[in-house]
Amino acid sequence: MRDPNWQKSSYCSEGNSCVHVSGDDTTHIRVTESADPREAILTATPAAFAALLHTLKKSTPHV
């Protein structure tokens, strides 16, 4: 497996703790935190990741 191509979350400010997402292939979505990008990686299917995003967007109040 090649190194993931990480994309920083658009909700990240200029701090050191940011969420990064990689969807380099059609079977896996990877999520990591910028302080530990090679060790703490969550891997999910695109469907499971979409369900997570849907749940987070539904339960998070918009400011």
C-alpha to C-alpha distance for 53 and 62, rounded to whole angstroms: 14
Q: Evaluate whether residue 1 is within a structural domain.
A: no
Whether 38 is in a domain gets the answer yes
Radius of gyration of the chain (CA): 12
Structural domain contains residue 61 = no
Q: How far apart are CA 53 and CA 13, in angstroms?
A: 19
* Domains identified in the chain, total number: 1
Identify the top-confidence range among 4-8, 22-26, 29-33, 56-60. Answer: 29-33
Residue 63 has pLDDT above 60, yes or no: no
Lowest-confidence pick of 2-6, 20-24, 35-39? 35-39
Give the pLDDT confidence score for residue 60 in this predicted structure.
63
Q: What range defines the domain where residue 46 resides?
A: 7-56
Dump pLDDT digits (tens) for 10-29.
777 766 678 888 887 789 99
Mean pLDDT of the residues in the chain? 80
Q: What angle do CA 19, 23, 25 make, to 5 degrees?
A: 160
